Amino acid sequence: MPKLHYKVVQHDGGWAYKLNDVFSEPFRDKTAALVAARRVAAEQRVPGDTTHIEFQDADGKWHSELSEGDDRPDADVVS
């Protein structure tokens, strides 16, 4: 099971959460960013339906695969 670690950081004149090198929208303060990051991490753990997904990797290559609805990552928030 993959592990995701959202981080709360200062960004764009406010605060944001990020996963790897991708930032969320900016928040007015650290508390608001932390609340949003915790919500997003919790949503990552919710099982869903098996579905076809497409995504682009860091090299710009597109991938297509079947995503099992019960194969959810272990997500948390570090600040």
Q: What is the pLDDT of residues 17-42, one digit of tens each?
A: 999 999 999 999 999 999 999 999 99
Model-level pTM greater than 0.95? no
Residue 50: DSSP 8-state: -
Residue 47: DSSP 8-state: -
Tens digits of per-residue pLDDT, 36-61? Answer: 999 999 998 888 889 998 999 999 99
The structural domain count of the chain equals: 1
Find the domain containing 37 and state its range. 3-78
Query: Which residues make Cβ contacts (< 8 Å) with residue 47, sequence separation at least 6?
Result: 69, 70, 72
